[in-house]
Amino acid sequence: MRRIAIAVAASSMVLSLAGCGVLNATGGSGDASPTKGNDVTVGLLLPETANTRYGKFDHPIIKDKVAELTRKQGKVEYANANADAAKQAGQMQQMIDDHVDVILLDAVDAHAIAGQVKKAKDAGIPVIAYDRLAEGPIDAYISFDNELVGEVQGRTLLEGLGANVDSSDKIVMMNGSPTDPNAKQFKAGALSELNGKVKIAAKFDTKDWKPENAEANMTQAINSIGKDNIAGVYSANDGMAGGIIKALKAAGVTTLPPITGQDAELDAVQRIVSGEQYMSVYKSYPDEAQAAAEMAVAKVQGKDIQFDALTRDKVDSPTTKGIPAQLVQVSALTKSTIKDTVVADGIYKVSDICTAKYQAACDALGLK
């Protein structure tokens, strides 16, 4: 009897909590501007197109999730800046002028965009930093644990170098764009693993994350270090790993050293199968993108309890302290984890990866 009473009390508590959210959502909380129902418009600003994740995963997943959460009444206004910070500022201005209800912002330049974040805030539009921690008065942040991304890259690179790795072994470090705060975290995480274990013989910050810039930097590194003296390459992402491999091949390197990456891009997964790239980092785009859509819709609809549950972490940006955040976990993608990561999560089918060119290598890995 007592147990039933407790159960009833507990469930009516849940009900009344949910009731609060609903009340708030219909504007009954006495807010000056009533919060919205399902007719929400989410502004989505993504940074570039060289990396396939944005067009292939982030945008469509967020769009579908917003539709699902709003009984198909909500919509996403999308713009991609093509790695151009000024262009992104213009796109954000357009969204402010269009009075979107909330903005998900993946900044090209996290510092330069701060003025626009402030403008949106002044216009009453909440801004949620997506994937990269934009400066200025943002309401929340959702990303992966980016320091962990770097640690996983560094650790796995050491594994690829083998048990006899020596602190005089020469590594090239190809970091990401200096305007992307994630790049700094990837670098710090990687260095925490690599420092003292190998020699960083050359390092670069790669403008705009562009593969062709990484290729040019790598050519420069090969010229100064010598093509046969490079034990491994830390590449912060897969796109750049592609450029680095081109440079090594162009210099006549036939046995490629271990090269890292990030993003689980399809051609990188294929390079991992064939042994040209040692690893990538698998980040579950559905986890990040769906949580972002949930945060955006909860924010607009005034569902504070849901919003708080989605943002239990706290982070600081150079301008703002204690930002509510969610940091999603990541894992290493190597030959032995392809099945348990991208295939298990339905990111790629085995048939996407194991095309005719890779069939033999896939067979050898037992990838079916």
Return the number of other C-beta atoms located less than 10 Å from residue 90's C-beta: 12
Site string for ligand GAL, 228-247 (x = CB under 6 A): ---------x----------
If one asks whether residue 209 binds ligand GAL (CB under 6 A), the answer comes out as yes
51 versus 116: smaller Cβ distance to ligand GAL: 51
| Cα four-point dihedral sign 207, 241, 267, 329 | negative
142 versus 161: smaller Cβ distance to ligand GAL: 142
**Residue 249: partners with Cβ closer than 8 Å, 6 or more residues away:** 256
**Residue 171: partners with Cβ closer than 8 Å, 6 or more residues away:** 157, 194, 198, 199, 200, 201, 230, 231, 232, 233, 234
Judged by CB under 6 A, the residue of 25, 40, 41, 53 near ligand GAL is: 53
If one asks whether residue 48 binds ligand GAL (CB under 6 A), the answer comes out as yes
If one asks whether residue 51 binds ligand GAL (CB under 6 A), the answer comes out as yes
Judged by CB under 6 A, the residue of 139, 147, 180, 193 near ligand GAL is: 180
Residue 78 Cβ, how far from ligand GAL at the closest point, in Å?
Answer: 16
Residue 346 Cβ, how far from ligand GAL at the closest point, in Å?
Answer: 19
Distance between CA 295 and CA 156 in Å, rounded?
Answer: 33
**241-269: buried (b, 16+ CB within 10 Å) or exposed (e) per residue?**
bbbbbbbbeebeeeebbbbbbbbbbbebb
If one asks whether residue 341 binds ligand GAL (CB under 6 A), the answer comes out as no
139 versus 147: smaller Cβ distance to ligand GAL: 147
Site string for ligand GAL, 250-289 (x = CB under 6 A): -------------x--------------------------
Distance between CA 282 and CA 158 in Å, rounded?
Answer: 18
If one asks whether residue 147 binds ligand GAL (CB under 6 A), the answer comes out as no
DSSP code for 138? -
Distance between CA 86 and CA 252 in Å, rounded?
Answer: 39
Which one of 47-55, 97-105, 133-141, 333-341 is the stretch in contact with ligand GAL (CB under 6 A)? 47-55
Phi (first) and psi of residue 83, to 5 degrees: 65, 20
Distance between CA 253 and CA 219 in Å, rounded?
Answer: 12
180 versus 294: smaller Cβ distance to ligand GAL: 180
If one asks whether residue 132 binds ligand GAL (CB under 6 A), the answer comes out as yes
Residue 132 Cβ, how far from ligand GAL at the closest point, in Å?
Answer: 5
What residues form DSSP beta bridges with 140? 128
Distance between CA 49 and CA 347 in Å, rounded?
Answer: 18
Size of the site for ligand GAL (CB under 6 A): 11
What are the residues binding ligand GAL (CB under 6 A)? Answer: 48, 51, 53, 131-132, 176, 180, 182, 209, 237, 263
